[in-house]
Structure 1
């Protein structure tokens, strides 16, 4: 038997005024996308913005459905669109803004497990870390330098 110790490291910023300019600009795109989300059931709106290495910015938001499993998270909406429209582009940055319509969300909201797995597919495919910044509506912003930092044991094509 052996023991594996896994450590993750995150940068925590007090607010958007502390993050790099390129990140704060991307967060504005994510916040705008969030306001266009279709979330009548959960009333939890999420916006995602992706900066590609070709300079394009792709946004997405969560899209719910009365048949819950049929909906799609903001991160996957954006990343799948980026992959469909710009299949050879690499993802440089991803920004996420999330919050409830019932109360102010000040706690940073990371990608869910399904989204982490979807993002990991692109990180593995491009063989380049994806910087992910996430926040609530206001407050702290957390930065992960790669998806593997959020999901250390990824299920990838090398396994199957």
Structure 2
């Protein structure tokens, strides 16, 4: 946990809002947590700069295909400075109508946020494919970790 619990919660909320925007098919909601000059680097390496460009790119992506939904786990938030945070997460995608992950789409997410005027905003979000070339046991381990989030727990009943 970060040394500043309020900052930790705020940065996790930015990440949750971004993923929920995607899952809802709402490009404006995806872009909303970003700073005006924030950047998003997509799974394929595409780079989008600025909230407006991010929203436009997400509108195209969300309209072009049925969208899978995210399952994600935050691994941690660290604060390298009082107004800077780095969130590390892992994520997978469940295809529309599906009940399992597509392991080839697993990713590591890195989110960098800054606090300005008391508000936290994303300045960089990057998705990196978690392919683990030549190490299938790592890919399967990550898939199993994410699948645990798909399984109902006794707390959910």
Whether the TM-score (by the shorter chain) exceeds 0.5 is no
The TM-score with structure 1 as length reference comes to 0.27
- With CA pairs under 8 Å and 6+ residues apart, which has the higher RCO, 1 or 2? 1
Q: Whose strand fraction is larger, Structure 1's or Structure 2's?
A: 2
Higher helix residue share: 2
TM-score (norm 2): 0.27
